Each structure stands twice: as structure tokens, then as C-alpha cells.
């Protein structure tokens, strides 16, 4: 699609001495108030060059370009040249492209040939998949979808927490207080109860911690009994995790977790030693990062066992050597900021020039109304319970309101789960928040169900218009019928979507898409309210149906980038 800022820069360039086209383009603004035009050019910067007052410069430029067919109106207001684009040309350009591209509207090839890895979700094996995990899961999934939509060769990795001393604790607890039948019946909840009991007992009997560490050491050394139990816990956990992923419509290209890198770590411990980066301290191996204000990083403990940082170094090098990534993105809570700063700095010290291509995307934490979540204390809200409750409540609303849908269960799933996902992605990812059932399951206002309902409304209009009218709209339409104020505002929002997607990718911020599709939905509903769409005049009806099709495509594609479905009936 044509870039209107570039088009305007081409028109302005002959009138402005001393500025290149790119600089002119960067100066063009979009006024918050549409009464001030679609675009505005400030002339303050030209005062020194032209030795004139900015308002005089603006007046001269406005008069010089006033007759250009690209504009309906050009006016000078103080030091600004305010430009109102030709509504008919703008409508024809934007709506035609959105209708023609449909599900591909907003896609680009800017990432062609570049590999992007997105690591997200990454729950711990044998522990609950709780509401705290939803942030990494849905933010990461949306970032993956955005990069895929932008043409990157995007890859999804679920770096499972399937290694570490917690498995020594879990195996210890299972041997002391567990039984196989209970684990088979309810794997995660049963293993959680063992883990909670271990910490309760360890407060009175600290020797349990030593026992757990000894068990983990055996696991690291490949002792068959420990490996067998660990593999069983892993397999049972994945069954439960995948049930939640299926509900969310999320899949992964790799489940290589921490254990995958256990045999790859000695190479890097040796490399750190050989390069003089690592030193011994009370039997442990450390890297001092005081020169970077990052404290001290622990590489191996005094008993020789490895830590997260060692595994993350091994994982990053493995991914670079295996996939030659352009970016290696980690969607992990802000609690881990120091950890990521440390190991990326260590990678750089080791001489890996691509170290800064590893990007940590932090997000705020979820707490419960009764306090911070704690797996050790068993104070968690299971994510599966949240999703099931959302679906069930949505189903009740559908039945009560006698909603027109051919598949109540599927619509309830699309809308209920969509409400939870949209709630997660509606605010800046870095914000902490308190989980509230009332807020998650509130379908009023600027919510996922509101946007989905708007999509369904557009589908209903198209069904009533009939395929013959839709086919004519795809062939072409007279844009003069969609130049009213609400139509023009809606078209501008549709036009902005591709740039919004690029911005969301650059900032790793799905909420930018979320807020924009709320704006499109509101713009569409204003257009629906202001104008009768299925009118008797055939040409007018075809043009308005074309705009409905364009808005439908934009909303559907935006929802898709959030990992949400767009029901056609609600």
C-alpha cells in the first residue's frame, strides 16, 4: 500500500530547501484532533534556513500545494501546514487493498530470510501450570505470531524447567510420602502436594535438603532410578500442560528444556576457565561482573552442580550454532532481569559477537488478591481452572441471551478463552497486576468479547448483503459513498494497522495491537450507527459492504495476532 507520509513528502520536497525527503517525512505529524487535518507539517525547523517566521513559511507552503489532487483541503494554522487527504482516493486505496488481501492484510516481508527464536511459557515440570504462567505464554505466543506475520522465519521454543535441585526434592518427597496410583490419577496436584509437604518437613528436618541435593547429583550423573522417576514426572506433566495449550490453541516447535543442555555445559565451564573469565571461590566457580555493576554470577556450586546461568549460556550457543538466529527472544518475568543481564554480559566477555542479539522481554508479575502466589505453600490458581470457568460462564451468557450460533460450545470456548487472553494483552506487559475473577470474566467495555462481537456483526451484515454484492465489492466500488466522517475515521484506522503491527514487533508489545483493534471495533460500530449500510442504491451498498469487508479483515487479523479466534456468529 502507498505510504501517505512518503507521498506527502514528495509533494512538499520541491517547496522546501535544505531538507532531504527522508527528513521531511520524519517531520510529518498526525494531529490528534482530526479537525486539524489528516497530516500536519511543522515549519519551526525551517525558520533558520529560510530566515522567515514559521507562520509565513507555513502560509507559503500551504498556498503552493493547495491545488494538489492528493488533498481535499490544505490550510495554514500558525506554524503548521494542515493537510486533509482526498477522502475518495484514500478510501479507494485502503479499502481495495484490505478487501483484496483479506486474511493477509497487514502482512509484510520485512523479516524475510531472518530467523527469530521466541522462547516462552516454559513451566516447571511437576509443578502447577498456574495463572502466573499465562503472561509468558500468551505474550510470547503473540510476539511469535507478530514476527511470523512480518515475514520472519519464526520459531517457538518451550524451554521446560525440567532440571535442577527441585527434582531432588520431588523425588525425595515421592519416595517418602507418595504412591504411583495418586500420581497417575492427578499428576500435577499430587506432585504439588508432595513438594509442599517437603518444604513443610524440611523446616523441622534440614537434613532433607541434603538428601534432595544428593538425589539431584545422582540424577545429573544419570543414575537409572532417578532418571526413570524424572522422565515419568516429565511425561505426566507434559500431558497436563498440553491440555492447557490445546485450549489456548498454542503449539511449539521445540520442547527442549534445561535437561537437553545437561551434556553441553562442561564445554562452556571449560571455556570460561580457559579464557580466564571464571574463578574459584570457596569451591564454587564464579564470574565477577562488578565492572558492569552486575555483581557476581555463580556458574557452578561447590558440589559441582550447575545453575540456570550455565544452562542458558549452553542453550544460546546451541541455538546460534543450530539455527543461526537473527534474534533470540526470551519472554521471561522481570524478576529475572539481573540473570539475563549477567549471562548476556558473560557471553559477550566470551567473545560471542551475537550476544546482544539475545533479547530479554520482561513482563510484570501476577499476584492473587490474598497475596503473592507460592508453589511451596500450595497457594496457586490453576490456569486450566481459569480457562474452564471462563468458558462455562460464557456458555451460560450465550444460553441466557439466546445468541445466534450454530455451535454453542465452540463459541463459548472462542469467547471465554478469548476474554482471558485479551485481558492479559490489553495492558503494557511490564505492569504488575492482581488477578481478579471479576475482571477476567467481565465482558463489558473494551474487552475481547466486544471486539469479537464487532467481527460477528460485520459477518452478519455480509451474510445479509449476500454473496453477489460481496463479489461486486471485491471487483470494485465507488469510493464517494464512504467519505463520511465516521467512514473516513474507520478507514484511517484500517490503514494504520500494518504500521501498528510493525511497531508492536519492534517494541515486543502486543498491547499496541490490542488497543488498535479496540479502536477499529469502536470505529466500525460508530460507522454502523451513523450510516445505513444495506441501502437501496446498489452502488452505495456495494461501497459500504466493501468497507465492512475491510474492517472485518482488519479485526480478524488483529485478533489472530493475539492468539484469538474471530467467531462469525455471536
Catalytic residues, which ones?
Answer: 127, 130, 133
The count of other CB atoms within 10 Å of the CB of residue 505 is 23
- Please give the grid coordinates belonging to residue 468: 453477489
Angle at 86 between CA 85 and CA 89, to 5 degrees: 120
Using only C-alpha atoms, the chain has a radius of gyration, in whole angstroms, of 29
| Interatomic CA distance for residues 99 and 222, integer angstroms | 59
Burial track 298-333 (b if 16+ CB lie within 10 A, e otherwise)? bbbeeeebbbbbbbbbbbbbebbeebebbbbbbbbb
| Interatomic CA distance for residues 352 and 267, integer angstroms | 15
| Interatomic CA distance for residues 108 and 499, integer angstroms | 10
| Interatomic CA distance for residues 323 and 494, integer angstroms | 36
Per the CB < 8 A criterion, the answer to whether 147 and 154 are in contact is yes
The count of other CB atoms within 10 Å of the CB of residue 407 is 11
The count of other CB atoms within 10 Å of the CB of residue 242 is 15
- 70 φψ region: left (φ > 0), alpha (ψ -120 to 50), beta (else): alpha
- Beta-carbon contacts of residue 145 (< 8 Å; ≥ 6 apart): 560, 561, 562, 563
Strands 284-288 and 279-281: antiparallel
| Interatomic CA distance for residues 553 and 551, integer angstroms | 5
- Please give the grid coordinates belonging to residue 235: 511425561
358-361 β-sheet, strand order: 153-157, 115-119, 327-331, 358-361
What is the CB-side half-sphere exposure of residue 335 using CA atoms within 13 A? Answer: 6
What is the CB-side half-sphere exposure of residue 91 using CA atoms within 13 A? Answer: 26
Amino acid at each position: 500500500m502507498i505510504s501517505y507520509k512518503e507521498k506527502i513528502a514528495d509533494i512538499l520536497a520541491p517547496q522546501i530547501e535544505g531538507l532531504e525527503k527522508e527528513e521531511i517525512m520524519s517531520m510529518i505529524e498526525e494531529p490528534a484532533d482530526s479537525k486539524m487535518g489528516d497530516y500536519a507539517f511543522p515549519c519551526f525547523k525551517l525558520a533558520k534556513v529560510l530566515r522567515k517566521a514559521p507562520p509565513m513559511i507555513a502560509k507559503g507552503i500551504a498556498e503552493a500545494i493547495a491545488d494538489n489532487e492528493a488533498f481535499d483541503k490544505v490550510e495554514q494554522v500558525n506554524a503548521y501546514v494542515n493537510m486533509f487527504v482526498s477522502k475518495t482516493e484514500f478510501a479507494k486505496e485502503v479499502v481495495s487493498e484490505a478487501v483484496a488481501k483479506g486474511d493477509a492484510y497487514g502482512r509484510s516481508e520485512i523479516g524475510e530470510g531472518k530467523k527469530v527464536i521466541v522462547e516462552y511459557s516454559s513451566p516447571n515440570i511437576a509443578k502447577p501450570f498456574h495463572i502466573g504462567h499465562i503472561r509468558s505464554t500468551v505474550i510470547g505466543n503473540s510476539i511469535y505470531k507478530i514476527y511470523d506475520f512480518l515475514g520472519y522465519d519464526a520459531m517457538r521454543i518451550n524451554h521446560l524447567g525440567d532440571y535442577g535441585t527441585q527434582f531432588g526434592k520431588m523425588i525425595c518427597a515421592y519416595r517418602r510420602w507418595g504412591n504411583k496410583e495418586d500420581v497417575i490419577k492427578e499428576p500435577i496436584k499430587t506432585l504439588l502436594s508432595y513438594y509442599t509437604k517437603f518444604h513443610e518437613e524440611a523446616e523441622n528436618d534440614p537434613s532433607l535438603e541434603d538428601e534432595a541435593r544428593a538425589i539431584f547429583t545422582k540424577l545429573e550423573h544419570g543414575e537409572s532410578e532417578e532418571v526413570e522417576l524424572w522422565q515419568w514426572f516429565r511425561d505426566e506433566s507434559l500431558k497436563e500442560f498440553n491440555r492447557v495449550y490445546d485450549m489456548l490453541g498454542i503449539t511449539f516447535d521445540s520442547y527442549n528444556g534445561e535437561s537437553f543442555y545437561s551434556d553441553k555445559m562442561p564445554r562452556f565451564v571449560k571455556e570460561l576457565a580457559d579464557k580466564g573469565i571464571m574463578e574459584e571461590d570457596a569451591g564454587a566457580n564464579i564470574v565477577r561482573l562488578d565492572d558492569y555493576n552486575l555483581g557476581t554470577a555463580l556458574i557452578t556450586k561447590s558440589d559441582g552442580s550447575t545453575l540456570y546461568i550455565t544452562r542458558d549460556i549452553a542453550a544460546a550457543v546451541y541455538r546460534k550454532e543450530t539455527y543461526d538466529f537473527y534474534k533470540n527472544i526470551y519472554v521471561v518475568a522481570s524478576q529475572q532481569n539481573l540473570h539475563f543481564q549477567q549471562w548476556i554480559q558473560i557471553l559477550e566477555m566470551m567473545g560471542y559477537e551475537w550476544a546482544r542479539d539475545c533479547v530479554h522481554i520482561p513482563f510484570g508479575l501476577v499476584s492473587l488478591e490474598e497475596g503473592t502466589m507460592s508453589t511451596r505453600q500450595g497457594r496457586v490458581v490453576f490456569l486450566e481452572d481459569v480457562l474452564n470457568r471462563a468458558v462455562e460462564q460464557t456458555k451460560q451468557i450465550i444460553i441466557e441471551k439466546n445468541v445466534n450460533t450454530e455451535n454453542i460450545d465452540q463459541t463459548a470456548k472462542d469467547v471465554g478463552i478469548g476474554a482471558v487472553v485479551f485481558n492479559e494483552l490489553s495492558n503494557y506487559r511490564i505492569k504488575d497486576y492482581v488477578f481478579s475473577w471479576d475482571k477476567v470474566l467481565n465482558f463489558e467495555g473494551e474487552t475481547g468479547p466486544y471486539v469479537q462481537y464487532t467481527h460477528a456483526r460485520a459477518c452478519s451484515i455480509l451474510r445479509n448483503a449476500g454473496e453477489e454484492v460481496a463479489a461486486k465489492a471485491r471487483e470494485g466500488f465507488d469510493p464517494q459513498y464512504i467519505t463520511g466522517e465516521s467512514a473516513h475515521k474507520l478507514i484511517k484506522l484500517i490503514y494504520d494497522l500494518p504500521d501498528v503491527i510493525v511497531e508492536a514487533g519492534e517494541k515486543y508489545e502486543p498491547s499496541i495491537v490490542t488497543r488498535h483493534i479496540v479502536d477499529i471495533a469502536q470505529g466500525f460500530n460508530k460507522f454502523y450507527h451513523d450510516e445505513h449500510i444495506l441501502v437501496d442504491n446498489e452502488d452505495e451498498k456495494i461501497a459500504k459492504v466493501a468497507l465492512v469487508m475491510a474492517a472485518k479483515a482488519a479485526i480478524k487479523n488483529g485478533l489472530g495476532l493475539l492468539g484469538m479466534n474471530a467467531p462469525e456468529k455471536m
